[in-house]
Amino acid sequence: MAPDLLDTMMSAAAAVIRDNAEALTALDQAIGDGDHGINMTRGFAAIEAEKAAMAAMALPEALQKIGMTLVMNVGGASGPLYGSYFIAMGRAIPPDPLTAAAVAEALIAGALAVQQRGKSAPGEKTMLDVLVPVADAVRAAAKAGTPTADMLTAVRDAAACGLESTRDMLATKGRASYLGERSVGHLDPGAQSSQLLVESICNVVAANLAAAKVEDV
Q: CB–CB of 163/192 below 8 Å? A: yes
Q: Does 71 bind another protein (CB under 8 A)?
A: yes
List 174, 193, 194, 208, residue binding another protein (CB under 8 A) = 174
Q: Which of 29, 110, 105, 30 is nearest to 63 (CA)?
A: 110
Q: Does 84 bind another protein (CB under 8 A)?
A: yes
State the number of CA atoms in the 13 A half-sphere of 138 facing the CB: 21
Q: Does 217 bind another protein (CB under 8 A)?
A: no
- The span from the CA of 88 to the CA of 63, in Å, is 8
- The span from the CA of 151 to the CA of 2, in Å, is 20
List 6, 8, 27, 35, residue binding another protein (CB under 8 A) = 35
Q: Does 190 bind another protein (CB under 8 A)?
A: no
| Residue among 68 and 209 whose Cβ is closer to another protein | 68
Which residues 103-142 are close enough to bind another protein by CB under 8 A? 117-118
Cα angle for residues 202, 208, 214 (degrees, 5° grid): 100
Kindly report the backbone phi and psi dihedral angles of residue 169, in degrees, each rounded to the nearest multiple of 5, phi listed first.
-80, 155
Which residue stretch of 58-66, 72-80, 92-100, 152-160 sits at the interface with another protein (rule: CB under 8 A)? 72-80
**Shortest spacing between CB 25 and another protein, in angstroms:** 12
Positions touching another protein (CB under 8 A) are: 33, 35, 38-39, 42, 71-73, 75-77, 79-81, 83-84, 117-118, 173-175
